[in-house]
Chain A
Amino acid sequence: MWTFFHKLGSPKWFYDISGKWLPWFAVVSALLLVLGSIWALAFAPADYQQGNSFRIIYIHVPSAILAQSCFMMMAIAGAIGLIWKMKLADMFVKAAAPVGASFTFMALLTGAVWGKPTWGTWWVWDARLTSMLILLFLYFGIMALQSAIEDAATAAKASAVLALVGMVNIPIIKYSVEWWNTLHQPATFTLTEKPAMPAEMWVPLLVMVIGFYCFFTTVILLRTRNEILERERRTNWVKKLVTKGVAL
């Protein structure tokens, strides 16, 4: 366990091993996303109340779950970076912020597009929607800190603190549909209860969620590897790699 933890501190080791993982995650995520989308669009039954607009759930729910868990991962990585000064954790925070922002945007946008035929409005300033918008701004804040602060260590410290403080927002998003009156429906899935929808509806959703996570991993690996190449440019192994010509 501890040797693994120490290896994680070595950018070269991570660069090598992630190069082996990357194609697998890329292929699996592509397969799951294509399969899940076809299933969701053409084969899942329509909702008896919402009709076919319900199919938006298959991108709305996975992107919203990913947007929140990405932020939690960033806060954990930020804490690890602050406590143990692990460079890879800092790089993860930097790599994850724009990806998390893009999925938060996806959740907000698909929510708005779904809201129009379902609630009759694109947007309401209710607790769930507003707290998700705050999550988007938190991601923007971390991205701004990263681009404004030149020194990598200082930028990482500032981002980690913002990620940890921003964690306050995560339970607010989760419980917003229970604490306040809202147009947003309560959670479709919980870990403790059986799903309230039939299997033909939730199995493709599960496929999409796993596909989203594999895709997220793929993008994070791509971005972290870029970050390693940039930061370790003075080392011999990067010089050798560059002169040999690097593949993906």
Chain B
Amino acid sequence: MNFESFSDFLAMGGHGLYVWLSYGVAALIFVANIVLPMKKKKEIVKKHVQRLKREKVA
């Protein structure tokens, strides 16, 4: 461990804002990269199912 205490860890020797801002934005980008295609898949499947139902009725 490179830090004395947890508040030391958060402060990052005065660079806390920069370090945590970078890691925070990076985390958001990672999450978005996973969530967006998964949501898209749900939409695609839903659309397919509806179309197949329509075709059966017709």
- On chain A, the residues within 8 Å of B44 by CB distance are 226, 229-230
Cross-chain contact of A215 among B3, B33, B41, B49 (Cβ < 8 A): B33
Indicate whether A11 reaches chain B with its CB closer than 8 angstroms: no
Cross-chain contact of A219 among B1, B3, B33, B48 (Cβ < 8 A): B33
User: In this complex, what residue of B is CB-closest to A225?
Assistant: B41
The interface bits of chain A over 92-119 (1 if a CB of B lies within 8 angstroms of the residue's CB, else 0) are 0000000100110110011001101100
Q: Determine which residue in A45, A53, A239 has the highest number of CB atoms from chain B within 10 A of its CB, and name it.
A: A53
Given contact pairs A44-B2, A55-B12, A222-B41, A114 touches B26 in the complex (Cβ within 8 A) = no
Indicate whether B54 reaches chain A with its CB closer than 8 angstroms: no
Indicate whether A64 reaches chain B with its CB closer than 8 angstroms: no
Residues of B contacting A: mostly: helix
- On chain A, the residues within 8 Å of B16 by CB distance are 52
Cross-chain contact of B52 among A59, A239, A246 (Cβ < 8 A): A239
The interface bits of chain B over 19-46 (1 if a CB of A lies within 8 angstroms of the residue's CB, else 0) are 1011101100110111001101100110
Chain A nearest CB from B27 CB (Å) reads: 9
- On chain B, the residues within 8 Å of A109 by CB distance are 22, 25
Residues of A contacting B: mostly: helix
A114 touches B22 (CB 8 A): yes
Indicate whether A35 reaches chain B with its CB closer than 8 angstroms: no
Cross-chain contact of A242 among B1, B12, B14, B52 (Cβ < 8 A): B52
B22 touches A51 (CB 8 A): no
B3 touches A117 (CB 8 A): no
B2 touches A53 (CB 8 A): no
B29 touches A113 (CB 8 A): no
- On chain B, the residues within 8 Å of A230 by CB distance are 44
Cross-chain contact of B19 among A56, A105, A248 (Cβ < 8 A): A56
Indicate whether A238 reaches chain B with its CB closer than 8 angstroms: yes
The interface bits of chain A over 211-248 (1 if a CB of B lies within 8 angstroms of the residue's CB, else 0) are 00001001100110110011001000011001100101
User: In this complex, what residue of A is CB-closest to B16?
Assistant: A52
Indicate whether A169 reaches chain B with its CB closer than 8 angstroms: no
B40 touches A105 (CB 8 A): no
User: In this complex, what residue of B is CB-closest to A116?
Assistant: B18
A42 touches B2 (CB 8 A): yes
**Which residues of A from 45 to 100 have beta carbons under 8 Å from B?**
45-46, 51-53, 55-56, 59-60, 63, 99
- On chain B, the residues within 8 Å of A44 by CB distance are 2
- On chain A, the residues within 8 Å of B19 by CB distance are 41, 52-53, 55-56
CA–CA, A178 and B29, complex, Å: 30
Q: Give A residues with C-beta under 8 Å from B.
A: 33, 37, 41-46, 51-53, 55-56, 59-60, 63, 99, 102-103, 105-106, 109-110, 113-114, 116-117, 215, 218-219, 222-223, 225-226, 229-230, 233, 238-239, 242-243, 246, 248
